[in-house]
Chains A and B, each alone.
Chain A
Amino acid sequence: AQKVTQAQTEISVVEKEDVTLDCVYETRDTTYYLFWYKQPPSGELVFLIRRNSFDEQNEISGRYSWNFQKSTSSFNFTITASQVVDSAVYFCALGRGGYQKVTFGIGTKLQVIP
């Protein structure tokens, strides 16, 4: 069975602080895909990143970085120097290789305080 755990329900940080959102997944598949999505207060879901199970290389995109560790089944997301515009709900998701069905975590609500 596929499972995604985002243990942090809500996080509050002061602007310019760094923050890490945790994501732990469970799967029996050897090929799988991990995703992060952002849902700002306006409600739309915005795709941020996809990572394949065979590629453990970490990725950095501006202030965003992702740390994928198969040994701990984690795919954590760090925002450096957070800004108020980063305030949103962030979802981690897991997809199976060869299938399109994706399992979403419950989301972490991030509030960045000015």
Chain B
Amino acid sequence: DAGVIQSPRHEVTEMGQEVTLRCKPISGHNSLFWYRQTMMRGLELLIYFNNNVPIDDSGMPEDRFSAKMPNASFSTLKIQPSEPRDSAVYFCASSLVPTSGVGNEQFFGPGTRLTVL
């Protein structure tokens, strides 16, 4: 079975450019998460979706960041305009949440290493 798929794996861009990160969750999973990992701040949850609906976006740093999940098999995280401080590894994760809503483990993609020059 395919795991969580992220693209691109590496992205190098210049300050001010728009960056779009993509994620395909595990088929059948109904929750999707975007995380950012840096040395200084560790692993931070940016936003998560349940059944394609954004549930908690309190971790999104600022208006330059936006995320969408148009269907159950695809999500994007966009940064516009990008800044050097956005350089980090961005992970997408998915999980299957039963109707009872109990916590379940998240399965992570390989990450996208973003460098903003």
Task: Give residues 62-90 of B contacting A (CB, 8 Å).
Answer: 89
Residue from A45, A47, A100 in contact with B50 in the complex, judged by beta carbons closer than 8 Å: A100
Residues of B within 8 A of A (CB): 31, 33, 42-43, 45, 48, 50, 55-56, 89, 91, 93, 95, 97, 101-111, 113
Query: Does B106 contact A104, Cβ atoms closer than 8 Å?
Result: no
Tell me which of A37, A99, A107 has the highest count of chain B C-beta atoms within 10 A of its own C-beta: A99
Alpha-carbon distance between A98 and B99 when the two chains are bound, in angstroms: 10
Query: Does B111 contact A44, Cβ atoms closer than 8 Å?
Result: yes
Alpha-carbon distance between A96 and B101 when the two chains are bound, in angstroms: 10
Contacts of A105 in B (CB 8 A): 42
Q: Is A64 an interface residue (CB 8 A)?
A: no
Residue from A43, A95, A98, A99 in contact with B89 in the complex, judged by beta carbons closer than 8 Å: A43
Residue from B43, B95, B110, B113 in contact with A100 in the complex, judged by beta carbons closer than 8 Å: B95
Nearest B residue to A48 via CB reads B105
19 A-B pairs, CB-CB below 8 angstroms?
Answer: A37-B108, A43-B110, A44-B109, A44-B110, A45-B91, A45-B93, A52-B102, A91-B43, A95-B103, A96-B103, A97-B102, A100-B48, A100-B50, A100-B55, A100-B103, A100-B104, A102-B45, A102-B106, A104-B42
A-B residue pairs, 4 tightest by C-beta = A33-B103, A45-B108, A95-B103, A104-B43
Q: Please judge, given known A-B contacts A35-B105, A100-B31, A107-B42, whether A43 and B111 are in contact too, CB under 8 Å.
A: yes
Query: Does A100 contact B97, Cβ atoms closer than 8 Å?
Result: yes
Known contacts A99-B103, A106-B42; 5 further A-B pairs (Cβ under 8 A):
A44-B109, A45-B93, A50-B103, A98-B102, A104-B42
Smallest distance from the beta carbon of B17 to chain A beta carbons, Å? 24
Alpha-carbon distance between A21 and B56 when the two chains are bound, in angstroms: 31
Query: Does B95 contact A50, Cβ atoms closer than 8 Å?
Result: no
